[in-house]
């Protein structure tokens, strides 16, 4: 899942981003509404965590832009106001969810994951394919009854491949979904991560390389 965090309180923005990355999400961060519009124009985000009171361009206008463009991106709006009328107004603008500050981080993660599922083709909470069971909520992977410990990026890559349902996923698509915008597009990090993931999943190999196209399970 790829997430954009838009929050002008930089310490809060970085804390949220760090926590979401620990949940195997790819996260970009900006601190104003203008930068948010620029990122949304060039990147395919599953979820935008959007502070309402932003400098340069108000959060309401960022949300309206997402809605007007007909993007599959889901928006969860954050605000310091817990007033019900503010929440109703935010939802009427087009936000998919609304969370007043201060919030419990575990609740934010649960809401982001729920919105991420709505941004894609509906799938069961636990993914099953080729003898592998992947539970995104619990961050658990089991193959033939054997628990497998994966690093966050390995987990993210495996989740993208399993969500593809047997379709080929290119290295560029994996880079887009599992890493953030600061990753060098010419890096071999995808190939190295897939190689490590294959080793951890064990035999027989389930990740197939399709020459010139990408990978599939």
Quick check: 121 pLDDT over 60?
A: no
The predicted pLDDT at position 83 comes to 66
Residues found in the chain: 217
Residue 198, CA atoms < 13 Å, CB-side half-sphere: 15
| Token reading at 60 | 């309401």
Q: Which residue has the higher pLDDT, 6 or 92?
A: 6
The predicted pLDDT at position 125 comes to 73
pLDDT tens per residue, range 148-194:
999 989 999 999 999 888 999 999 889 888 887 767 766 788 999 99
Quick check: 31 pLDDT over 60?
A: yes
Q: What share of the chain is helix, strand, coil (3-state, %, to 5)?
A: 40, 20, 40
The predicted pLDDT at position 124 comes to 58
Quick check: 122 pLDDT over 60?
A: no
Burial letters for 18-36: b for 16+ Cβ neighbours within 10 Å, e otherwise?
eebbebbbbbbbbbbbebb
The predicted pLDDT at position 116 comes to 85
With H, G, I as helix, E, B as strand and everything else as coil, classify residue 98: strand
The predicted pLDDT at position 4 comes to 96
In the numeric block, the tokens 């099953």 are attached to 128
Q: Kindly indicate the confidence band of residue 119, based on its pLDDT and cuts at 50, 70 and 90.
A: low
My answer on whether omega of the bond before 204 falls inside 30° of 0, hence cis, is yes
Burial letters for 104-136: b for 16+ Cβ neighbours within 10 Å, e otherwise?
eeeebbebbbebbbebeeeeeeebebeebbbeb
pLDDT tens per residue, range 101-115:
888 999 999 999 889
């Amino acid at each position: 899942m790829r997430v954009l965090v838009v929050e002008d309180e930089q310490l809060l923005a970085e804390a949220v981003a760090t926590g979401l990355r620990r949940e195997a999400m790819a996260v970009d961060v900006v601190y104003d509404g203008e930068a948010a519009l620029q990122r949304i124009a060039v990147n395919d985000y599953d979820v935008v965590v959007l502070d309402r009171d932003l400098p340069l361009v108000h959060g309401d206008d960022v949300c309206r832009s997402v809605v007007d463009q007909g993007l599959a991106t889901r928006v969860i709006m954050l605000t310091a106001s817990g007033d019900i009328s503010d929440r109703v107004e935010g939802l009427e603008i087009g936000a998919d969810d609304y969370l007043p500050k201060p919030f419990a981080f575990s609740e934010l993660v649960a809401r982001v994951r729920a919105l991420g599922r709505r941004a894609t083709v509906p799938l069961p909470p636990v993914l099953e394919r080729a003898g592998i069971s992947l539970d995104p909520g619990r961050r658990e992977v089991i193959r033939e009854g054997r628990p497998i410990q994966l690093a966050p990026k390995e987990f993210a890559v495996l989740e993208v491949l399993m969500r593809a349902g047997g379709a080929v996923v290119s290295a560029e698509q994996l880079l887009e979904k599992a890493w953030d915008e600061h990753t060098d597009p010419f890096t071999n990090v995808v190939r190295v991560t897939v190689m490590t993931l294959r080793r951890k999943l064990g035999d027989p190999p389930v990740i197939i390389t399709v020459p010139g196209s990408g990978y599939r399970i």
